[in-house]
Amino acid sequence: MPLDHRRLRGPEESQPPELWAAAGEVPVHEEEEEEGGGGKDAAPRDPCDLRPLFARAGLLSQAEGSAYVELGGGTKVLCAAWGPREAAEPGAAVPAGTGQLLCEFRRAPFAGRGARWRPGSASEREAEREAAAALREALEPAVRLARYPRARLAVSALLLQDGGSALAAAISAASLALADAGVEMYDLAVGCALCRSPAPAALWMLQPGEKEERRAVARLTVALLPALNQVSAVLGGGQGSSPDAWAQALRLGLDGCHRLYPVLRQSLLRAARRRDAAA
């Protein structure tokens, strides 16, 4: 019976819900990074600080590879990946000498705190299609598709909660899931989001929350292959920013990707060790 990739079961192992502590307290957790700010009552964080990140690979037994990424503030993404399969039905057009990467992005009906879209509405379906296309654009340069001629790889991202910077979190989670599935890759694709606040402050902020994104006049999502120092995608838009401001935002986003990379890499290594121990 073929798998329904649109239905992702939850993780078999539950995780502690508290991923960060109050200022001055650093919680002990094997796959967590503290970058700056604390809980909800903490002072406004520095625009250059990263939100606390939790990442874990290898959660779902129903998929060949999987990953879960959570950002402090409530962004939660679960991704599943499946390895090479026959590319398409006989007679379908398939690029010669290379494989296909199929990406899917879905929002859970309970993902948003507000009422931006009604579940199943045309606006939500369009937003999901755009996010899936952006996900594919960011991931394709990281995957060695030439090693899978006339085959297809599939990755499905499910946004469980949207607390801002959702696309960047999905890029990182999908990259982890593909690597966990044993797909040959040049490097992990790390996503980092930014937004620019309105005047008079007009500051670029790393990994904005949902409220910050709503007020933003410009947004940017950067995807980077840190080991190669190669940008795989730059996605976003806005108004009222000079070329120098966009260049500054790009440099800030690349720095954020480099800072997130060790956490994702360690998460993948721990998943490999757990798999070896269970074998």
Taking only the tens place, the pLDDT of each residue in 101-139 is 999 999 888 877 654 545 556 777 888 899 999 999 999
Place of tokens 């002072």: 43
What percent of the chain has pLDDT above 90?
A: 42
Q: Which residues contact 38 (CB under 8 A, 6 or more apart)?
A: 20, 21, 22, 23, 25
As given in the structure block, the two tokens for residue 145 are 């598709």
Q: From residue 36, give the alpha-carbon distance in Å to each of 53, 65, 167.
A: 11, 31, 21
Q: How many residues does the chain have?
A: 279
Residue 122: its pLDDT value, please? 74
Task: Parse the chain into domains and list their residue ranges.
Answer: 48-84+97-278
Number of H helices, E strands in the chain: 4, 10
Least confident of 18-32, 93-107, 230-244: 18-32
Which one has a higher pLDDT value, 151 or 124? 151
Single-letter amino acid code for the residue at 46: D
- Pairing label, strands 204-206, 190-196: antiparallel
Fold of 48-84+97-278: Ribosomal Protein S5; domain 2 (3.30.230)
pLDDT bucket at 23, cuts 50 / 70 / 90: very low
Residue 118: its pLDDT value, please? 55
CB-CB contact of 98 with 153 (8 Å): no
Summarize the confidence of residues 39-68 as an average pLDDT.
80
> Could you count the other beta carbons within 10 Å of the beta carbon of residue 275?
12
pLDDT at position 225 over 90: yes
- pTM for the whole structure: 0.80
Q: How far apart are CA 103 and CA 253, in angstroms?
A: 23
- Pairing label, strands 204-206, 53-57: unpaired
pLDDT at position 21 over 70: no
Q: How far apart are CA 39 and CA 19, in angstroms?
A: 10
Which one has a higher pLDDT value, 131 or 48? 131
Q: How far apart are CA 259 and CA 174, in angstroms?
A: 18
Residue 241 has φ and ψ, to the nearest 5°, of: -115, 135
Average pLDDT, the chain: 80
Summarize the confidence of residues 58-77 as an average pLDDT.
90
Residue 120: its pLDDT value, please? 55
pLDDT bucket at 237, cuts 50 / 70 / 90: confident
Residue 5: its pLDDT value, please? 46
